[in-house]
Structure 1
Amino acid sequence: MTAPNNGRSYHAPRRVAAATATREAIMAAAERLFARRGYAATTMAAIAEEAGVTPKSVYALADKPGLLLLAVDRPEPASASASGPEDVIGGLLRRYPMQRAFEEAAAAEPALREAWRRHERRRRAELKRLARAAADAGRLRPGLTVGRATDTLWALITWHTVALLVEQRGWGRAKVAEWLDQLLETVLTGDGRPRD
């Protein structure tokens, strides 16, 4: 015998809050471990341990490639939101370890290759907006097309560059941000003056 439905929907705010907290703990743990260890060295068991949940909870959310995609697409904190060059520079400084893990994963997981290509198309589109804004403001240096400026920025401003400067040369974030800002000026306007 089934209980009658009185037209009331089931509402369990505590359960929803707990599920949200569990999901957030898993996503934060996955992002930390992928960024710190890389894709190959990060196991689902390690994510579960880092998050303080069972492996079953992690698998209920997504498989390993799915977790990486969720971590990559995780929204930036509201305090990190900006627009223009600061957004590109700040985002790159915050997210380059995850981008490294994503590229590594795409090389190892055929299911992630197209997602990486989409990511790179989005990254190029962001940089094209900067080049287009410089052109619209009359600041693009003579003879430089928006397409060429975009391709140059896309090739130079990558996680690889930031990792080299931060991890190999010991540059702090402020120095990298200043260098990236100067690079944008040099490429787009021809007016980047070194500051040492």
Structure 2
Amino acid sequence: MAQATATREAIAAAAERLFARHGYSGTTMAAIAEEAGVSAKSVYALADKPGLMLLAVRRAGAAPGPEDTAGALLRRYPVERAFEEAANAEPALREAWRRHERARRTGLKHLVRTAADEGRLRPDLTVGRATDTLWALLTWHTVALLVEQRGWGRAKLAAWLDQLVETTLTSGPGGRSRQ
């Protein structure tokens, strides 16, 4: 039992690393087996390639402990990029990608709802419109551009996220309107 759990974890971790590094189409089942240090038969016994993609996404979404938003985005964006690629290539993953995006939007809505409940949401924004704004701006695409094209690290990304939320959604510190 412990051996099977360790094998499953090794395969899921290898799939996550390789999908993040090489994308969905650039990752083979044989490469996952090699990276995990197991046989290809063990990989196929666990899941097919779309199933391994889902395991990698779940694994990437499971934070190991307390984590700031910037750290979570930096850790997850390569796997999310591979997941979107996989959903475009694999009909079996399309609905999973849609569910993932709905869940991401729901998580952002909680943030917006908190600002609204505290009286900090700009008066010209509804919760829905503000949620859509964050959902559209805070994607793996945006993070990839800032990290890969502009060389941003965690601290710069965190400062940008704080500023984005403050200037885009709220009426300023303490609920005061900006003039």
In structure 2, C-alpha distance between the alignment counterparts of 1:137 and 1:191, rounded to whole Å = 12
Residue 78 (structure 1) aligns with: 64
- Conservation of the 8 A alpha-carbon contact between 1:27 and 1:71: yes
In structure 2, C-alpha distance between the alignment counterparts of 1:132 and 1:77, rounded to whole Å = 23
Q: Report 1:129-144 matches (<5 A).
A: 129-144=110-125
Displacement of 1:35 in angstroms is 0.2
Question: Greater helix percent: which structure?
Answer: 2
Residue 127 (structure 1) aligns with: 108
In structure 2, C-alpha distance between the alignment counterparts of 1:172 and 1:45, rounded to whole Å = 33
In structure 2, C-alpha distance between the alignment counterparts of 1:77 and 1:151, rounded to whole Å = 24
Kindly indicate whether residue 4 of structure 2 is the aligned counterpart of residue 19 of structure 1: yes
In structure 2, C-alpha distance between the alignment counterparts of 1:158 and 1:89, rounded to whole Å = 12
Kindly indicate whether residue 103 of structure 2 is the aligned counterpart of residue 117 of structure 1: no
Q: How many residues align?
A: 172
In structure 2, C-alpha distance between the alignment counterparts of 1:100 and 1:148, rounded to whole Å = 25
Give the structure-2-normalised TM-score. Answer: 0.91
Aligned-residue CA RMSD (Å)? 1.4
Q: Report 1:34-45 matches (<5 A).
A: 34-45=19-30
Deviations 1:64-97 (A, max 9, x none): 0000001101252432x35xxx4x4432221000
In structure 2, C-alpha distance between the alignment counterparts of 1:76 and 1:25, rounded to whole Å = 16
Residue 96 (structure 1) aligns with: 77
CA radius of gyration, larger in: 1
Q: Which has the higher contact order (CA 8 A, sep 6+)?
A: 2
Which ranges in structure 1 are unaligned for 5 or more consecutive residues? 1-15
Q: Which amino acid is 1:176 matched to? A: L
Q: Report 1:5-16 matches (<5 A).
A: 16=1
Displacement of 1:190 in angstroms is 4.3
Provide the secondary structure at the position in 2 that maps to 1:73.
helix
Equivalent residue for 1:49, pick from 34, 38, 52: 34
